[in-house]
Amino acid sequence: MKVQSTTTQQDDHFLISNYDYKSTNIEKNGDKYIAKPQITNFKFKTDTRIPKVGVMLVGWGGNNGTTLTGGILANKFNITWNSRRGTHQPNFYGSLTQSSVIKIGTCNTEEVFVPFKDVLPMVNPCDIVFGGWDISSLNLADAMSRAQVVEYDLQQKLRPYLEKLDFIAANQGDRADNVIPGNNKLEHLNIIRKNIADFKQQNNLDKVILLWTANTERFCVEDPNIHGTAEKLLKSIESSHPEISASTIFACAACLEGCSFINGSPQNTIVPGVIELAEKAGVFVAGDDFKTGQTKFKTCLVEYLVGAGIKPKAIISYNHLGNNDGKNLSQESCFKSKERSKKTCVDDILESNKVLYPTEEELNIDHTIVIKYCPETGDSKKAMDEYIAEIFLGGRQTFAVYNVCEDSLLAAPLIMDLLLLCELFERIQFSKDSSEYQRFDTVLSWLSYLMKAPKSESGITTINSLSRQRAMLENLVKVCAGLTIDDNLRLEVRYGASRFQQ
Amino acid sequence: MKVQSTTTQQDDHFLISNYDYKSTNIEKNGDKYIAKPQITNFKFKTDTRIPKVGVMLVGWGGNNGTTLTGGILANKFNITWNSRRGTHQPNFYGSLTQSSVIKIGTCNTEEVFVPFKDVLPMVNPCDIVFGGWDISSLNLADAMSRAQVVEYDLQQKLRPYLEKLDFIAANQGDRADNVIPGNNKLEHLNIIRKNIADFKQQNNLDKVILLWTANTERFCVEDPNIHGTAEKLLKSIESSHPEISASTIFACAACLEGCSFINGSPQNTIVPGVIELAEKAGVFVAGDDFKTGQTKFKTCLVEYLVGAGIKPKAIISYNHLGNNDGKNLSQESCFKSKERSKKTCVDDILESNKVLYPTEEELNIDHTIVIKYCPETGDSKKAMDEYIAEIFLGGRQTFAVYNVCEDSLLAAPLIMDLLLLCELFERIQFSKDSSEYQRFDTVLSWLSYLMKAPKSESGITTINSLSRQRAMLENLVKVCAGLTIDDNLRLEVRYGASRFQQ
Amino acid sequence: MKVQSTTTQQDDHFLISNYDYKSTNIEKNGDKYIAKPQITNFKFKTDTRIPKVGVMLVGWGGNNGTTLTGGILANKFNITWNSRRGTHQPNFYGSLTQSSVIKIGTCNTEEVFVPFKDVLPMVNPCDIVFGGWDISSLNLADAMSRAQVVEYDLQQKLRPYLEKLDFIAANQGDRADNVIPGNNKLEHLNIIRKNIADFKQQNNLDKVILLWTANTERFCVEDPNIHGTAEKLLKSIESSHPEISASTIFACAACLEGCSFINGSPQNTIVPGVIELAEKAGVFVAGDDFKTGQTKFKTCLVEYLVGAGIKPKAIISYNHLGNNDGKNLSQESCFKSKERSKKTCVDDILESNKVLYPTEEELNIDHTIVIKYCPETGDSKKAMDEYIAEIFLGGRQTFAVYNVCEDSLLAAPLIMDLLLLCELFERIQFSKDSSEYQRFDTVLSWLSYLMKAPKSESGITTINSLSRQRAMLENLVKVCAGLTIDDNLRLEVRYGASRFQQ
Amino acid sequence: MKVQSTTTQQDDHFLISNYDYKSTNIEKNGDKYIAKPQITNFKFKTDTRIPKVGVMLVGWGGNNGTTLTGGILANKFNITWNSRRGTHQPNFYGSLTQSSVIKIGTCNTEEVFVPFKDVLPMVNPCDIVFGGWDISSLNLADAMSRAQVVEYDLQQKLRPYLEKLDFIAANQGDRADNVIPGNNKLEHLNIIRKNIADFKQQNNLDKVILLWTANTERFCVEDPNIHGTAEKLLKSIESSHPEISASTIFACAACLEGCSFINGSPQNTIVPGVIELAEKAGVFVAGDDFKTGQTKFKTCLVEYLVGAGIKPKAIISYNHLGNNDGKNLSQESCFKSKERSKKTCVDDILESNKVLYPTEEELNIDHTIVIKYCPETGDSKKAMDEYIAEIFLGGRQTFAVYNVCEDSLLAAPLIMDLLLLCELFERIQFSKDSSEYQRFDTVLSWLSYLMKAPKSESGITTINSLSRQRAMLENLVKVCAGLTIDDNLRLEVRYGASRFQQ
């Protein structure tokens, strides 16, 4: 099922869509805002040829990596499995691109929705070639058993497929028995570059994307002299500077090999030097930290409350989990990285509403983040939150939420979405007011819906509210496909001919 | 602070805005959807003269009525009060129009938000003249004490203002000691009409709006011969037909006196005959059932899940409350009305996603509504919900939510919003493709954001997802004010001159 | 490990213990209570020979029956199994007799605890021979799969053992395809009696106990003329009276075959006529309704609160579950049986405290029970409770509890306890003040710890508080074993020689 | 209403009760435990003359101190007050002594319960004279307003009584503007001693008790050379040693003035030197940390689970509160004190059950304590807990508990109980096997029911399970009053004459 718009141009290679973008310039004049609507013409050109894509995961043998790989294999080979609840079919639930839908228009008075993936030509996740690194030398089947995420019967059925898959050695500490052999950071960089090049060649791939799904690292201490430019960064790697984190070396290697890089953990991997390297290579970088459970809920609930004129006063977010991520976060330095990405996520929503938050002091609500390691819960992530909001006449509305999810079962399809969308956006160019076509910004902030602390290019404020993030992504895809944006007025239904014909 | 667009036309009386409405017609062709974008021109003409408005509440002496009246008085006279937590200022928290904001555009790269109420000229809630009926003969001060909603100290301070306000008698059962004296339904209708006319005249009002905030009634058994047309309905009232509910008589009286009518309870007050009466009178009807707490949350959470490709499988919604509404709902027949309005609210969200719900059977998820009367909790409404959703590879994500709110403190500002928006929409007309100006549909479905079971004109499907409902309302107001719709692409920030100038 | 007291007498067959029972007679005199302590001598004689025991379950193929049978087999043959969480060992967690401990005394200053089962000679659960009836004709292996309780891998490993086990037909409705062939209730009675006799003989058993773990039935309408005596009851069975429930027929058959009968569902199976039959046969009857999760918690929490001088004001208990029990309880008539057993469980605790509850009106707290059928949750039982208690100066303490358990995994070990303790008490006799030895009362209220609505002999009030129920059982076993009751004063530790020697 | 036993001896001054205490010595012999029951005679002599008692609170102006003082005044002068919920009467809800009951015996077959306070002659809380210290110089009325605990209307009504009450200066940091003027720790000690002596004399009191309800201090680093003996301790005070905490100085002053001392915070105030001082002075010390909410619940729930053979595997206890205690605990060093007292509270319960916890490793369950400061919640304390327990066949039972209480409204009556019981125990002596009468141990572990980390004399293990702690206290009082201990067998009801006479 494919969508085709009558207003786009399509040749063998490209789909071109024309979009009159409307915005409003605001000027303040005394107690009046003067609003000046503007129209700017944009053209979007999408390369419709679907390439052969390889993905290399840093931390492939972790819970996310094994769940993603196993889950895609289950779908590819249509493997069913049993649990005490009966027989299960594979699916892509939890994936924005594969399992959510987009309204594309109206047929008579009925709204028509299609899967997100059908609006523009996208890679089929079952066609991705996976590879990657891990600090543990287990094969992928054993790594999946250790992860304790996937049902036992499915583990057994996937074992023959997974046993064949070996990790490349990686260079982290902890449960590491499979570290990269190099003696210094430069050697590491070069080994990783060679790994990428070999992987691409051996699998005959059109492109490769790297994604960090390994442990949260501590924040490195950013310094313009160390991380500020591509040149300085490479020099710092040469000198094995201690404030160059492992993830940054992977990011550099990706850029130098012409691969986009996505950071799924909260630490500050994507320093300015990395962005410059990506810029030069014409690839994307995106981050930070997958937005799966508690934070996703938070940016949804707080948006609803503030949008209703209700004033959040306190947000207390407790978490505990028992997987390796939980263990890692029990270290204060790593927790600090996570706390930052989880805590800033409502700031822009609160700041937008000056009726509820007229002062800086009001904005400084009680917002507490706690993450605890609890081995008993395994990969299950338990979030216990309290939201306290002020309502009319000093009253309170309180939400106490107990949210249980499987951490990796939420993260795996989201990783897939990041990869597929990143790949798609590599095939899109735009022209503003008939100027030359260019690619999107190097820092791919379009993916913010999937990120706890979405990284933007400098000068672009971050949007955290969930429905706005989703609208941004949905509308971009629709615009490229030549579909109209939905303003929800539904005037063609309310006052169109078709309604009265029925 | 007012907003003024450079693309609108404004004279002494009217603000005229021009809108090229874009929609997409979809045709299905084999495995392709052919999307045909359309543009239709609409002009919106808003009368900018703010009238003197009276509001008559049916059930004025209930928790909602007393809280709304007292709360507006506290704001009007800037009355502060003490609780053990300190000194409190009056406000309009929880009101969409007074306390939420709308993005109107961008100033350099910064988004600019203004209060909803400042986009178009709206009535100041402090200027509304209140009146109404109640089945109890308490004065409003005593009714507020009985309600146990407002802090004791504020009750004391409001007493001098409220003691002067007397109810008109009403015709319900239960704690009724103040029933309308008439002998039959026709006499009741006429008495109510006279009440309205007297109220309007005595207070020298430009217009009056009626709103039902009395008890939930049982569903009347709808019958085309009884309720199907204006004529049949009036005949049925004449004959005191038992399936003519009290609320329907109030609705008829409103229409016959040229007043819009809003139904805040779940029962089927607005039968076809009422709509015809309203149509003839050129007034609006809107309903049903205020969307305050649990259902608002539900239409937000389910939209988030389905939008993320996650599949809700069970929704169990328990409620208990101790106010008169709770007592009334403990009667099975009234509960049935409520259950219906609470239960259908996710259907359209699920139906839109055929990936998650390919069959009718899948759509039939476990969805249970329970409401219990618990006097101990007073006006506090406790909702205990479980949401179970299927995620990747047969996993589950579970939300157990315990939500405590003050029922009437959420409802009161929402009632205010309904009244203010209904009044505003009475001042808006539109012209399609340069045809004659007309008013909006008689059934005012624009207000769906505020309604648990939003009533639409026939042929228009209902939208329940919270962010779409809010967008509909926000965008309508923006369009009328000549502001551009936000597609969230933020291209003027991403690729505009101002970003690079900074 | 066995316990042996130096003050008991033990011969080949019997263990005899001497107990000076202390009680206090209270007389009221003006504003004084006159307390007259009393001592009465009791002798307890326990037959220490462990018999070969058979158990027949009504509803053997249900979730409880299959879980219990499978779980005991896993223990008997030491079967391990895998889930995604790793490899599991069988155990008897959740069993009072097998997994809880009793303090038997002090060794130096250290308290010494032994497993409950080691205080008196008890049957090993692995030695029980199981049989029973079911309305479905599945074999036990398929029934266990349908139940969806036990992990899939364990199901597979138990299959060879369970496939051999066939049900006897039973006479209920619903998913019945295996009903007892008889034409009337008398014929049913006789068939059941023959089933019991055959089972006992074929398995060469010393004794058989019957236990009802089938669906909750509606309350039968009790009538002295129908159920009041053994004779009337048997006549009513002869005439196939409609108010003779299926469970009552099983109970009669048990008594007539000399077997004790335990009712695990809430309905009024054990009518006076059944008690008379049991009395004559010298067997026990016990009931009603297993106390597993929510109610157990409730009788624990309310006891704690009232014991601390805190006043429960409202208890709202919501439940939903997806197994066959849940489905059955969604019928109003069956729910009524359940509601009664769940709702009375705190009455005696509240009534005991006249400071908190001086009047009947105060005692009438808000106490609501809701049970809903939610197929999605399967055998998982979700309880969502709110407890609201009044504390000092009008304050409130609120507990919102979300309790998830596997219904049958809690019930199965509890069923085992009921059977083992019932069997044990059949071997105990007592003599008061040197009178002739007699057995315990026919209605075995000692088992109240395990019962939601514990049935007592007439004239004996029911104790529902959990710690008192447990103390009753623990102390009875200790007294029979010649151990001293623990008053928790620990004077031998505080002021004994051993403490000062250390 | 008073209780009088026929087996006690009563003269003008003393009530003497005779108790044959039964215990069991255990010896292990191969796989057998040999249990040797013992009887030891104890006599308890209670001075029945009720003294005039003064209480001095350290931290009188805090939330607990003001709530307790105000609450007792409300009871004493029968002050009623209004909130939005209506008119309130004063009471002593939440007090073990004033609002809980004890079973004293049986009248016919009915159990007879009387208030705890009526079993032995106890001080009426309304007769206590209050005094104390605070680091803030507010008067008590203003301190109560700052506390934000008591309803505003009651605050207003108590103001005239409280304004007259002034604090003595104290010597802590933080919001201190009222510190003791002395230059060194010895001077402080002497000033406090003089404060006590003056207070006793000015109010003409028979005795004074001191209680610490000020902030949690950090643990001092205990050292035998500093705190090990009375002599060393006094020397360390003389030298103003930094590891002598403020609370320890108050404890010393109390002992030296012949007053018992109770520590309501978790830190290690009661060092060995303090105990020696108390021993010499013949007064009691008791501690540590009031057991009000989460921990009380925990020691109740865990006891129930382990007692049912269910195995707790993880306990995650989150707390947040907004009062000064919460602020203070946000300091890591003070939190450490609290964490210790909250975390050890289940250890003895788990250790007792070797079936569930056969090894040290098994005992090491996940047990996490988090306390966060959240100003928005004020004195409301929110506890969010998860308990995960293993049940049959590897299943799990999970409790997610959200508990809201008013911290000080739970603590105030508990403080009152501590004072009243401490005072009572000062009037009780016992004689073992007719030896000379002696008072109870200096460390008053009888009060453990009220303490989070109950302190015991060396050589006496601590009991944390709630029902055992309560039984200990209840039984002690009953034994002193000549009432029999309840073994819950109810044999006099089951097999007594009265049942059959009815």
ipTM: 0.93
Burial class from Cβ neighbours inside 10 Å (0-12, 13-18, 19+) for residue A261 reads: buried
Q: What is the pLDDT of residue A173?
A: 44
Query: What parts of chain A have a pLDDT lower than 50?
Result: 172-175, 502
B86–D contact, CB cutoff 8 A:
yes
C-alpha to C-alpha distances, B155 to B159, D82, D84, nearest whole angstrom: 6, 11, 8
AA letter at A57? L
Q: Is residue C173 predicted with pLDDT exceeding 60?
A: no
A377–C contact, CB cutoff 8 A:
no
* Contact between B302 and B357 (Cβ < 8 Å): no
* Contact between A479 and A107 (Cβ < 8 Å): no
Q: pLDDT tier at C5 (50, 70, 90 boundaries)?
A: confident
Choosing among C84, C154, C158, C396, which should be mutated to test the A contact, i.e. which has the most A CBs within 10 A?
A: C84
Tell me how far apart the alpha carbons of residues C17 and C5 are, in angstroms, rounded to a whole number: 9
A20–B contact, CB cutoff 8 A:
no
How close A311 gets to chain D, by Cα (Å)?
12
Q: Which residue has the tokens 């069956």?
A: C334
> Closest chain A residue to D362 measured between Cα atoms?
A376
Reported as a single tens digit per residue, the pLDDT across C116-135 is 999 999 999 999 999 999 88
Tell me how far apart the alpha carbons of residues A247 and A261 are, in angstroms, rounded to a whole number: 10
Domain A293-408 architecture: 2-Layer Sandwich (3.30)
Q: Give the mean model confidence (pLDDT) for residues C445-459.
A: 91
Q: What is the pLDDT of residue D225?
A: 95
Which residues does residue C402 pair with via DSSP β-bridges, in sequence order? C384, D400
> Closest chain A residue to C375 measured between Cα atoms?
A85
Contacts with D149 from chain B: Cβ below 8 Å: 84
3-state secondary structure of C153: helix
C-alpha to C-alpha distances, A267 to A218, A288, A293, A342, C145, nearest whole angstrom: 6, 7, 18, 12, 47
Reported as a single tens digit per residue, the pLDDT across C225-270 is 999 999 999 999 999 999 999 999 999 999 999 999 999 999 999 9
Tell me how far apart the alpha carbons of residues A85 and C375 are, in angstroms, rounded to a whole number: 11
- Determine how many CB atoms are found less than 10 A away from the CB of residue D20: 10
**Who contacts C303 (Cβ-Cβ below 8 Å, separation ≥6)?**
C349, C465, C466, C467, C468, D467
Active site residue A381: yes
Q: Which of D320, D368, D386 sits opposite A368 (nearest CB)?
A: D320
Tell me how far apart the alpha carbons of residues A300 and A310 are, in angstroms, rounded to a whole number: 14
Q: pLDDT tier at B88 (50, 70, 90 boundaries)?
A: very high
How close C150 gets to chain A, by Cα (Å)?
6
Residue B63 token pair = 């928790």
Q: How far apart are the first and last CA of chain A?
A: 27
AA letter at B301? L
Q: Which of A3, A71, A101 sits opposite B35 (nearest CB)?
A: A3
Q: Rounded to 5 degrees, what angle do the CA atoms D35, D38, D41 make? A: 165
- Determine how many CB atoms are found less than 10 A away from the CB of residue B25: 18
Q: Which chains neighbour D (Cβ–Cβ under 8 Å, 3 or more pairs)?
A: A, B, C
Q: Which residue has the tokens 């605001």?
A: A26
D376–B contact, CB cutoff 8 A:
no
Tell me how far apart the alpha carbons of residues A262 and B444 are, in angstroms, rounded to a whole number: 47
Mean pLDDT in order along chain D per 10 residues (502 residues): 85 94 92 92 96 96 96 97 95 97 92 95 97 87 94 96 80 51 83 95 97 90 94 94 93 98 94 97 94 91 95 96 82 78 87 95 94 91 96 96 94 98 98 94 95 88 92 96 94 79 52
How close D106 gets to chain C, by Cα (Å)?
5
Residue A30 token pair = 């005394």
Q: What is the pLDDT of residue B344?
A: 85
Radius of gyration, CA atoms only, chain C: 24
Check residue C418 and report its DSSP letter: H
Q: What is the pLDDT of residue D174?
A: 42
Does A152 contact C378 at a Cβ distance shorter than 8 Å? no
Q: What is the pLDDT of residue D180?
A: 61
Q: What is the pLDDT of residue B2?
A: 80
C159–A contact, CB cutoff 8 A:
no
List, by residue range, all CATH 3.40.50.720 domains of chain A.
53-290+409-481
Q: Which of C37, C461, C485 sits opposite D6 (nearest CB)?
A: C37
* Contact between D312 and C93 (Cβ < 8 Å): no
Furthest C-alpha separation in chain C: 77
Q: Give the mean model confidence (pLDDT) for residues B194-213.
A: 97
Cis preceding-peptide flag for C417 (omega within 30 of 0): no
**Who contacts A91 (Cβ-Cβ below 8 Å, separation ≥6)?**
A75, A99, B392, B393
B63–D contact, CB cutoff 8 A:
no
* Contact between A131 and A198 (Cβ < 8 Å): no
A391–D contact, CB cutoff 8 A:
no
Q: Which of D368, D374, D402 sits opposite A372 (nearest CB)?
A: D368
Q: Give the mean model confidence (pLDDT) for residues B251-256.
A: 97
Q: What is the pLDDT of residue D179?
A: 59
Residues 306-335 of A with CB under 8 A from D: 313-314, 316, 318, 320
CA B30 to chain centre: 42
Residue D482 token pair = 């000549």
Contacts with C152 from chain A: Cβ below 8 Å: 82-84, 151-153
- Determine how many CB atoms are found less than 10 A away from the CB of residue B231: 11
C-alpha to C-alpha distances, B178 to A101, B182, B324, D90, D360, nearest whole angstrom: 54, 12, 17, 36, 73
Q: Which is catalytic among the residues C298, C338, C382, C455? A: C338
Q: What is the pLDDT of residue C331?
A: 80
Give the residue from C78, C212, C65, C215 showing the smallest Cα distance to C150. C65
Reported as a single tens digit per residue, the pLDDT across C317-368 is 999 998 888 788 878 777 877 787 777 889 999 999 999 999 999 999 999 9
C400–B contact, CB cutoff 8 A:
yes
3-state secondary structure of B375: helix
* Contact between C100 and C115 (Cβ < 8 Å): yes
Reported as a single tens digit per residue, the pLDDT across D424-433 is 999 999 999 9
D86–C contact, CB cutoff 8 A:
no
C153–A contact, CB cutoff 8 A:
yes
Does D370 contact A372 at a Cβ distance shorter than 8 Å? yes
C-alpha to C-alpha distances, B456 to B286, B288, B445, D453, nearest whole angstrom: 8, 10, 5, 63
Q: What is the pLDDT of residue C180?
A: 62
Residue A83 token pair = 């649990």
Residues of D marked as catalytic: 289, 338, 381, 452
- Determine how many CB atoms are found less than 10 A away from the CB of residue C466: 29
Active site residue C43: no
Is domain C53-290+409-481 given the CATH code 3.20.20.70 in the classification? no
Number of residues written out for chain D? 502
Q: Which is catalytic among the residues A381, A382, A455, A478? A: A381
Contacts with C155 from chain A: Cβ below 8 Å: 84
**Who contacts B326 (Cβ-Cβ below 8 Å, separation ≥6)?**
B320, B371, B372, B373, B374, B377, B381
> Closest chain C residue to D470 measured between Cα atoms?
C307
Q: What is the pLDDT of residue B329?
A: 80
Q: Which is catalytic among the residues C134, C289, C325, C385? A: C289
Q: Which is catalytic among the residues A134, A289, A325, A385? A: A289
Contacts with A402 from chain C: Cβ below 8 Å: 402
Does B148 contact D86 at a Cβ distance shorter than 8 Å? yes
Tell me how far apart the alpha carbons of residues B363 and D410 are, in angstroms, rounded to a whole number: 48
Q: What is the pLDDT of residue D3?
A: 81
